[in-house]
Structure 1
Amino acid sequence: MSLQAELKQYLLQQGVSDVGFGQVLDEPKGFMGGCGHFVSLAVKLSDAIVDEITTEPTHTYFNHYRSVNAFLDQMLLKTGLFLDRAGYRYITVAASQSINKDGWNYDGRYSHKKAACLAGLGTIGKSSLFLHREYGSRVRLGTVFTDCAFETEQAKPVSVCGGCRLCVDACPSGAILGGEWQVGTARSEIFDPEKCSRHMKEKYKHIGRGAVCGVCMRVCPQACKRLQTVQKS
């Protein structure tokens, strides 16, 4: 068994829902200290917990959100230690960590969604949420960069939203602008993270200090389609 296959098997056994591998080709030389390949991890959220979200998040969802992020961070570290034991370098990108740069607090070190798309795990919706190929919007993501040269394919995801506007119409902040995502679309063209964050901090202080919402994730039919298929089989 190859190191790559062994790592994927290990992570799935640890409870990670899906694993993908990719390579960054559009960054300058020396990006991530020469760690240009990556492992993309996806962990599925609880359907029962997400389904409780109505017009605002729940206390249970906030706890679940934090728990899954913490689990992902542990899995990112375990991935890195696995690679380190095999003689490779690694850099973890936290599951949920914003970096304040020049007064803008809505970017991370690298986009987990972009990595997951490149790894072939799914696409991005009008909501700017990542849509997993099986679990739809109901996942959290994490990424580990490494100098281990995995076998990869540069996936070319396409939009699956079409004329659907459920997330646009349900968004309580008006942050989802209604545009359809394609490869190369800037987040600012379809989503306003500052408007989303401001609404959460103003309206949901009583639930996790205004750190989560989840309404757009709850209404996304990409998850519902999967659930309907399971119910019919």
Structure 2
Amino acid sequence: MSLQKELKQYLLEQGVSDVGFGHAADEPCDFMGGCGYFVSLVVKLSDAIVEEITTEPTHTYFNHYRSVNAFLDQMLLKTGLFLDHAGYRYITVAASQSINKDGWNYDGRYSHKKAACLAGLGTIGKSSLFLHRQYGARVRLGTIFTDCVFETEQAEPVSLCGACRLCVDACPSGAILGGEWHVGTERKEIFNPEKCSRHMKDKYKHIGRGAVCGICMKVCPRAKNNRERVL
């Protein structure tokens, strides 16, 4: 069995819902210290917990959100140690971490959604959420870069939203602008993260200090509620 297949099998056995491999070919050769290949990890959220979200998030969802992020970070570390043991270098990108740059606090070191799309795991919706090929919007993501060369597919994600506006109409902040995502679309063209964050901090301080919402994720119809793991 190849190292790539062994790693994927290991991660699925650890409880990760789906795994993809990609290459940041559009980045310079010294990107991430020469670690241009990556592993994209997907963990499905609990349908029962998501379904409890109505006009605001729940305390249970906030706890679940944090727990899944912590699990993803542990899986990223385990992936890195797996690769390190095989003689490769790695750099993890935390499941949920914002980097304040020039007063803008709504970007991470690398887009998990971009990585997952490049790895062929799904696409992006009008909500700016990643839509997994099987689980829809009800997922969390993590990414790890490495100098281990993987076999990758040239994925070309396409929009699945069409005329659907459920997330646009349900968003209490007005942060979802209604445009349809296509390859090359910048986030600011379809979504305003600052507006979303400001609403959460203002309206949901009593639930996780205003760190989560989840309404757009809950109403998205792309989730198939399929309990079978992707193999």
- Provide TM-score, normalisation by structure 2: 0.97
What CA distance in whole angstroms lies between the structure 1 residues aligned with 2:118 and 2:49?
A: 29
Give CA deviations for 1:167-206 in whole Å, capped at 9, x if unaligned.
Answer: 0000000000000000000000000000000000000000
Counterpart residue identity of residue 5, structure 1: K
Q: Match of 1:162, as an amino acid? A: G
Helix, strand or coil: the match of 1:140? strand
Where 1:50 maps in the other structure, the secondary structure is helix
Q: Is the Cα–Cα contact under 8 Å of residues 135 and 226 in structure 2 kept in the other structure?
A: no
Aligned residue type for 1:60: T
| 2:75 matched residue in structure 1 | 75
8 Å CA contact 1:20–1:41 kept in 2: the answer is yes
Per-residue CA deviations over 1:137-196 (Å, capped at 9, x if unaligned) read 000000000000000012000000000000000000000000000000000000000000
- Aligned residue runs from structure 1 range 1-233, under 5 A: 1-223=1-223, 226-227=224-225
The whole-number CA distance in structure 2 between the counterparts of 1:229 and 1:206 is 32
CA distance in 2, matches of 1:47, 1:29: 41
Q: Distance in 2 between matches of 1:10 and 1:222?
A: 28
Q: How many residue pairs align between the two structures?
A: 228
- Paired with 2:169 and 2:120, the residues of 1 have a C-alpha distance of 28
Distance 1:38 1:59, change over 3 A: same
Equivalent position amino acid for 1:53 in 2: I
Alpha-carbon deviations, 1:50-79, whole Å to 9, x = none? 000001000000000000000000000000
After TM superposition, where is structure 1 displaced by more than 4 Å over at least 4 residues in a row?
none
Aligned counterparts of 2:91 and 2:226: Cα–Cα separation in 1:
39
Between structures 1 and 2, the one with greater helix share: 1
How far the C-alpha of 1:227 sits from its partner, in A, is 3.1
Which 5+ residue runs of structure 1 have no aligned equivalent? none
CA RMSD of aligned residues (A): 1.2
Q: Percent identity?
A: 86
Distance 1:17 1:204 in 2: 29
